[in-house]
């Protein structure tokens, strides 16, 4: 009977372990070969498995690519700051997004034509698929600022709160480069904060008009 050296038995991957390996292989293939050259077969080869394993989980390569981008995003979460000041929180948050999400945004920009041609996805479809449309982790920054009395979330429109992130994402997608620190500061100080102050002032004036005179 042939003896087996310790460590030479390869454990068969199953369930979540297998899916993580497949998504990692898809991400690596996407970043190295690009969307056009990526195939279900090339990902299966990289993951050292059969192509049928991929098709049991994803319908086609567009579906697989979007899942791989989401997987990479989840492995590299944005740090939610808590400096005690909304301006400093926003500068830190946008700076971290600029660093951690630049590679994802660049990749989405580079693969958009392929995703559009193969799956008919619009830019909005891709953003929603990759980023999701549920509650954002970044909302914690605004809720803490509200609790400190810096802003009034009952008065500020959702579009105003989303604007800094949309501007940063637009810059990265259009240039395929991270934004400069000067651009991030401008988004916060020249665009976001004046809008927030406008709604805070309006809310304060309304409260004064509604209060009874003594």
The lowest-confidence range among 30-34, 48-52, 111-115 is: 111-115
Whether 119 and 182 share a structural domain: yes
- What average pLDDT does this structure show over 56-64? 92
Dist CA 17 CA 15 (whole Å):
6
Whether 87 and 191 share a structural domain: yes
**What Rg do the C-alpha atoms of the chain give, in angstroms?**
23
Q: Report residue 32 CA to chain centroid gap.
A: 21
Whether 141 and 183 share a structural domain: yes
Burial category of 68 from C-beta neighbours within 10 Å (exposed 0-12, middle 13-18, buried 19 and up): buried
CATH of the domain at 145: 1.10.357
Of the chain, the percentage scoring pLDDT greater than 90 comes to 49
* Predicted TM-score of the model (pTM): 0.72
> Is the pLDDT reported for residue 14 higher than 90?
no
Whether 28 and 95 share a structural domain: no
> Is the pLDDT reported for residue 127 higher than 50?
yes
User: For residue 213, is it within any domain?
Assistant: no
Q: Report residue 96 CA to chain centroid gap.
A: 11
- What average pLDDT does this structure show over 60-85? 90
More confident residue, 129 or 87: 87
User: For residue 214, is it within any domain?
Assistant: no
pLDDT band of 131, cuts 50, 70, 90: low
Whether 61 and 94 share a structural domain: no
The three state secondary structure string of the chain is CCCCCCCCCCCCCCHHHHHHHHHHHHHHHHHHHCCCCCCHHHHHHHHCCCHHHHHCCCCCHHHHHHHHHHHHHHHCCCCCCCCCCHHHHHHHHHHHHHHHCHHHHHHHHHHHHHHHHHHCCCHHHHHHHHHCCCCCCCHHHHHHHHHHCCCCCCCCCHHHHHHHHHHHHHHHHHHCCCCCHHHHHHHHHHHHHHHHHHHHHHHHHHHHHHCCCC
User: For residue 8, is it within any domain?
Assistant: no
Whether 84 and 50 share a structural domain: no
The lowest-confidence range among 10-19, 157-166, 201-210 is: 201-210
Whether 154 and 178 share a structural domain: yes
User: For residue 109, is it within any domain?
Assistant: yes
Nearest to 26 by CA among 71, 74, 77: 71
- What average pLDDT does this structure show over 5-30? 78
Most distant CA pair in the chain, distance: 99
Where in the sequence is the domain holding 53, given as residue range(s)?
Answer: 15-71
The per-residue pLDDT for 11 is 55
CATH of the domain at 53: 1.10.10.60
Nearest to 140 by CA among 60, 77, 79, 67: 79
More confident residue, 31 or 180: 180
Contact 166, 101 (CB under 8 A): no
Whether 40 and 137 share a structural domain: no
Mean pLDDT of the chain, nearest integer: 82
Whether 201 and 106 share a structural domain: yes
User: For residue 7, is it within any domain?
Assistant: no
The per-residue pLDDT for 102 is 64
> Is the pLDDT reported for residue 178 higher than 80?
yes
Whether 59 and 85 share a structural domain: no
Whether 63 and 88 share a structural domain: no
The per-residue pLDDT for 136 is 73
Write out pLDDT tens, residues 42-56.
999 999 999 999 999
Whether 67 and 94 share a structural domain: no
């Amino acid at each position: 009977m042939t003896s087996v050296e310790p460590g030479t038995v390869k454990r068969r991957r199953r369930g979540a372990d297998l899916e993580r390996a497949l998504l990692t292989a898809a991400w690596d293939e996407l970043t190295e070969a690009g969307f056009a050259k990526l195939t279900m077969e090339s990902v299966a080869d990289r993951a050292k498995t059969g192509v049928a394993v991929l098709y049991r989980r994803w319908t086609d390569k567009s579906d697989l690519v979007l899942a791989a981008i989401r997987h990479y995003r989840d492995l590299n979460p944005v740090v939610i700051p808590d400096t005690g000041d909304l301006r400093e929180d926003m500068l830190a948050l946008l700076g971290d997004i600029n660093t951690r999400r630049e590679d994802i945004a660049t990749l989405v920009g580079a693969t958009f034509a392929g995703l559009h041609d193969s799956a008919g996805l619009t830019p909005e479809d891709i953003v929603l698929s990759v980023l999701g449309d549920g509650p954002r982790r970044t909302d914690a920054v605004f809720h803490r600022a509200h609790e400190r009395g810096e802003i009034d979330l009952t008065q500020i429109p959702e579009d105003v709160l989303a604007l800094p992130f949309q501007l940063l994402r637009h810059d990265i997608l259009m240039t395929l480069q991270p934004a400069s620190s000067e651009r991030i500061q401008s988004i916060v100080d020249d665009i976001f904060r004046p809008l927030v102050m406008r709604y805070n002032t309006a809310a304060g004036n309304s409260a004064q008009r509604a209060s009874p005179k003594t």
